[in-house]
Structure formats: structure tokens, C-alpha cells
Amino acid sequence: MKYGSAPNRYFEDVVPMGESEVHEALLREMKRHRYWKSSALKKMHFDRLEMINCLHYILESFTEARSTSEAAEAVAPGQLYDQATTLVANPWDYEVLPTKLFTDQVRMIEMPGTSTINPCSACNSEGTYHCFHCRGYGTDKCNFCR
């Protein structure tokens, strides 16, 4: 499918409708709607029918929003190769293409060159924290960085 252009369409094969076809079409539409009464259609009288071509135009568009936020995860030695090169990174500097056009998508992507190694805020990079079940006498593995 080619985007941006539409084929030329000609309406020479349109069959003119008479009064009986219009009555049948209106009756079918009234049956679809629960609160419409068919008595109005029975009383309806057409003085003149005029055929007018009508185009149905559909505009499909999309919007895109980008934001940045910090995320923390456990890092094994040798897992992080590139250090942060800049402090401020613009998310619009990176090309991210949709997997399928005109569908709702949420994508989370790490921006290159923005990774940093910080100490664990839960255990202060010790790997353990004081156990509160035993009133602080023992230690337990840190669930955040281990």
C-alpha cells in the first residue's frame, strides 16, 4: 500500500435509486434503531429525488510523546561498557520507528551513552541490609541489587 496518494476514482457506475429503493433503505435503517418508528416512513412522500455523490473522508494520524526518567537495576561486573558521555540527552535525537503504523504502542528504550553506575540506595552498596524480622541482629541479601 502506497501512502500519501490515492487512486483516481470515477463514479460512473452509480445506479440511480427510485422511490421504492429509498423506502427499502430507510426501512432497513429504522429496523436497526430501536426507538425509531416506522409510521413516519409510511406517511413519508417524496416530491423529488436528487442524486448527489458524497465522499467519505477518513484522516488517520498519530501522535508521539517522548520522555526520560531514571531507572535502576542490578549490574554485574563487565555488563556496562559505555559510561555516560553527556548529562542532558534529548530523546528526540534518537530515531525510533514504530513496529506497526497507527496502533497504540509503548516502547521503553535505553538511550545510548546515558548509563551510569551509582551505589545501591537500599543497602549502600554492601549487598546486605539489616533484617527487621530479627530486630536488626542479622542481615539479609539486598533484594534490589542482588
DSSP 93: G
Domain positions in the chain are 15-45, 114-145
Share of the chain above pLDDT 90, in %: 0
Does the pLDDT of residue 108 top 80, yes or no?
yes
Per-chain mean pLDDT for the chain: 76
Q: What CA dihedral angle connects 85, 87, 90 and 95, to 10 degrees?
A: 30
The span from the CA of 123 to the CA of 139, in Å, is 11
**What is the model's pLDDT at position 80?**
57
**What is the model's pLDDT at position 136?**
62
Does the pLDDT of residue 1 top 50, yes or no?
no
**What is the model's pLDDT at position 25?**
87
* CA angle (71, 139, 127) in 5-degree steps: 35
Mean pLDDT across the stretch 117-144? 76
Of 6-15, 50-59, 121-130, where does mean pLDDT reach its minimum?
6-15
SS3 140: strand
Q: For 6-52, what is each residue's pLDDT tens digit?
A: 666 666 666 778 888 888 888 888 888 877 777 888 888 888 888 77
pTM: 0.40
Mean pLDDT across the stretch 71-93? 65
Buried/exposed code over 103-117 (b: 16+ C-beta within 10 A; e: otherwise) = eeeeeeeeeeebbee
The residue with greater pLDDT, 67 or 54, is 67
